[in-house]
């Protein structure tokens, strides 16, 4: 099909955008219009709120909002809200929570809360001379010129913690950075950090231009490349851990020794083998992202940071680790993560507000711990299944409902399947076979589904 670029799309009304979409891409299908509109909220204020979160919005995209109860964290009981579409995630988290509830629960420690941003710039004069000017005049002026921007943050106990000039010329000719460290207390701080950085760049430009120590050519060589926070926050880091006497790990037919051997081996493999580490960490992120989304935080930032951290030793590795020492099994996750519990969506999105209330309106540091616990629990649950029963037993049981919904099964048929698979491992093929038998047809095509 020969399509033409669209002009002024953002200026079309919501109806206009839908009409354009359906005509251009969906062969004018009236069902597509219904599909989009059935997700509109009747409450027009609420709908407007969601429309305003983004650009060119035409509908809402639902995500299941679930609860994982029984999380004992630092001796306090939590129910953790999770927004996630993968069927087994909340169930696995709840199961792991229950397991550790009976063994002392989870402990969290915020190791540090420093966030970073950089002014990236080019300068072709002497690095030593630039460093001297930076230390003698520029640094103090950077603080001074951002006093207005940092006023409120300082009032809340945050602000600029440190400023450094970093010489990167060995890696890229003429490349320098102002590396700025910030404390942003309960806000994620992206806007605050970026505003400070942009002011730093202006101050830098003006002080270099005025400098009596630099010649014309050196002054002219200064080029600001960009001012932006770093989503890599290795100094904004929390540890979540569980531990218990070794003999408390026996379950069913699996002895403690057997469990520890299998579990530790699985962790070691993820530590040394990037193919496994990627999937291992993906499982951790299943728990982390679900809480990050439910609490209105930026899961892309959290993902990017976690994976950079997982590569910090030169190869991609596991984010979790375990050990047995003096008869105690210990399993932990160190997670660098920048979160906010004020600002952004946290006060705007009604479900996010509710999720934060369910968690007891945590500070950003407390939320760091809760999120890390969700990741650790998820990983514990996944590894426990993987090294004992295998993952598919639980996964396919959860996936059964998805298959049955695709087949447009009635409630009665769904109940039949729950009984049918009580003592069998679910497979797609078996579900189809049994479904055809129930409906008295030879093949699924005969049912003419979704037509």
441 φ/ψ angles, rounded to the nearest 5 degrees: -120, 165
In contact, 51 and 14? CB cutoff 8 Å:
yes
Q: How far is CA 411 from CA 401, 407, 414, 417, 444, in A?
A: 11, 12, 5, 10, 19
* Torsion region of 25: left, alpha or beta (phi above 0 gives left; psi -120 to 50 gives alpha): alpha
- Asked about 45 being catalytic, the answer comes back as no
**Is 298 noted as a catalytic residue in this protein?**
yes
Nearest approach, Cβ of residue 93 and ligand MEV (Å): 12
Nearer to ligand MEV (CB atom), residue 282 or residue 414: 282
Q: Specify the residue, 372 or 391, whose C-beta has the smaller distance to ligand MEV.
A: 391
Q: Measured from the CB of residue 382, what is the shortest distance to ligand MEV in angstroms?
A: 4
- Would you list the DSSP string of 321-353? EEEEETTEEEEEEEEE----SBSGGGGT-HHHH
CB of 386 to ligand MEV, least distance (A): 6
- Which is the catalytic residue, given 51, 183, 271, 298? 298
Pick the binder of ligand MEV from 19, 86, 167, 334 (CB under 6 A): 86
Nearer to ligand MEV, 280 or 349 (CB): 280
- CA end-to-end span of the chain, whole Å? 25
User: d(Cα 139, Cα 223) in Å, to the nearest integer?
Assistant: 18
Please identify the residue of the shown chain whose CB is closest to the bound ligand MEV: 283
Distance of alpha carbon 295 from alpha carbon 355, whole angstroms: 6
Catalytic residue, candidates 179, 282, 399, 416? 282
Nearest distance from C-beta of residue 368 to ligand MEV, angstroms:
22
Which of 228, 268, 263, 230 minimizes the C-alpha distance to 244?
263
SS3 label, residue 202: helix
Write out the binding residues for ligand MEV, residues 283-312 only, by CB under 6 A: 283, 286
Sign of CA dihedral 46, 51, 57, 61: negative
For ligand MEV, which is the closer residue by CB, 86 or 434? 86
Of 189 and 375, the one with the shorter C-beta distance to ligand MEV is 375
Do 286 and 86 form a contact (C-beta atoms < 8 A)? yes
Three-state SS annotation for 66-134 = EEEEEEEECCEEEEEEEECCCCCHHHHHHHHHHHHHCCCCEEEEEEEECEEEEEEEECCCCHHHHHHHH
* 413 catalytic residue (yes or no): no
Q: C-beta of 120: minimal distance to ligand MEV in Å?
A: 36
Per-residue contact track with ligand MEV, 268 to 287, x per CB under 6 A? -----------xx-xx--x-
Please, which residues bridge with residue 73 across strands?
76, 106
Q: Backbone phi, then psi, for 119, in 5-degree steps? A: -100, 115
282 is catalytic: yes
By beta-carbon proximity to ligand MEV, the closer residue of 135 and 311 is: 311
Q: Measured from the CB atom, is 158 or 375 closer to ligand MEV?
A: 375
Window 46-75: residues binding ligand MEV (CB under 6 A):
none
Per the CB < 8 A criterion, the answer to whether 342 and 251 are in contact is: no
Q: How far is the CB of 287 from ligand MEV (least distance, A)?
A: 10
Residue 264 found at the interface with ligand MEV (CB under 6 A): no
Residue pair 239/111 in contact by the 8 Å Cβ criterion: yes
Residues 366-395 that bind ligand MEV (CB under 6 A): 382, 386, 391
Minimum gap (Å) between residue 379 Cβ and ligand MEV: 6
Nearer to ligand MEV, 48 or 279 (CB): 279
76 token code pair: 């306090």
Instruction: Name the catalytic one among 19, 86, 164, 334.
Output: 86
Nearer to ligand MEV, 86 or 218 (CB): 86
Give strand pairing partners of 245: 328
Query: Among candidates 335, 129, 323, 142, which has minimal Cα distance to 232?
Result: 335
Binding to ligand MEV in span 390-449, by CB under 6 A: 391
Q: Please, what is the minimum distance in Å from the beta carbon of residue 268 to ligand MEV?
A: 14
Whether residue 222 contacts residue 123, with contact meaning beta carbons closer than 8 Å, is answered with: yes
Let me know how many helices (H) and strands (E) the chain has, helices first.
17, 10
Q: How far is the CB of 424 from ligand MEV (least distance, A)?
A: 21
Size of the site for ligand MEV (CB under 6 A): 9
Give the footprint of ligand MEV on this chain (CB under 6 A).
86, 279-280, 282-283, 286, 382, 386, 391
- The residues annotated with a catalytic role in the active site are 86, 282, 298, 395
């Amino acid at each position: 099909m020969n399509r033409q670029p669209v002009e002024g799309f953002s200026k079309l009304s919501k109806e206009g955008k839908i009409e354009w979409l359906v005509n251009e891409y969906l062969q004018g299908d009236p069902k597509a219009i219904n599909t989009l509109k059935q997700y509109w909220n009747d409450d027009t204020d609420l709908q407007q709120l969601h429309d305003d979160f983004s650009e060119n919005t035409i509908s809402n995209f639902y995500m299941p909002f679930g609860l994982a109860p029984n999380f004992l964290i630092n001796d306090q009981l939590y129910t953790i809200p999770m927004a996630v579409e993968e069927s087994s995630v909340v169930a696995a988290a709840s199961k792991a929570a229950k397991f550790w509830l009976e063994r002392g629960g989870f402990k969290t420690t915020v190791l540090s809360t420093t966030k970073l941003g950089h002014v990236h710039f080019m300068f072709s004069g002497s690095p030593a001379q630039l460093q001297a000017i930076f230390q003698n005049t520029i640094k103090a002026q950077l603080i001074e010129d951002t006093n207005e921007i940092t006023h409120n943050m300082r009032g809340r106990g945050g602000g600029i913690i440190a400023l450094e000039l970093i010489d990167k010329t060995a890696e890229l000719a003429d490349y320098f950075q102002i590396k700025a460290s910030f404390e942003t207390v309960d806000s994620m701080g992206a806007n605050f950090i970026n505003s400070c950085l942009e002011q730093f760049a202006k101050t830098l430009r003006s002080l270099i231009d005025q400098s009596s120590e630099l010649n014309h050519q050196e002054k002219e060589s200064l080029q600001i490349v960009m001012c932006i926070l770093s989503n890599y926050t290795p100094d904004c880091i929390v540890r979540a851990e569980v531990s218990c006497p070794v003999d408390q790990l026996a379950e069913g037919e699996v002895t403690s020794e057997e469990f520890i051997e299998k579990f530790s081996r699985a962790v070691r493999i993820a530590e040394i083998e990037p193919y496994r580490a990627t999937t291992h960490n993906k499982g951790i992120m299943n728990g982390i992202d679900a809480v990050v989304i439910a609490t209105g935080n930026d899961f892309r930032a959290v993902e990017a940071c976690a994976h950079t951290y997982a590569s910090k030793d030169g190869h991609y590795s596991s984010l979790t680790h375990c050990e047995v020492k003096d008869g105690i099994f210990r399993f932990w996750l160190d997670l660098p993560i920048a979160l906010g519990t004020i600002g952004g969506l946290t006060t705007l999105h009604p479900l996010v507000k509710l999720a934060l209330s369910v968690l007891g309106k945590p500070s950003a540091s407390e939320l760091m711990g809760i999120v890390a616990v969700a990741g650790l629990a998820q990983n514990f649950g996944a590894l426990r299944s993987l090294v004992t029963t295998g993952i598919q037993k639980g996964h396919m049981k959860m996936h059964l409902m998805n298959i049955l919904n695709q087949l447009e099964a009635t409630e009665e048929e769904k109940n039949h399947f729950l009984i049918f698979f009580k003592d069998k491992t679910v497979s797609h093929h078996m579900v189809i076979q049994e479904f055809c038998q129930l409906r008295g047809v030879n093949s699924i095509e005969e049912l003419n589904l979704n037509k």
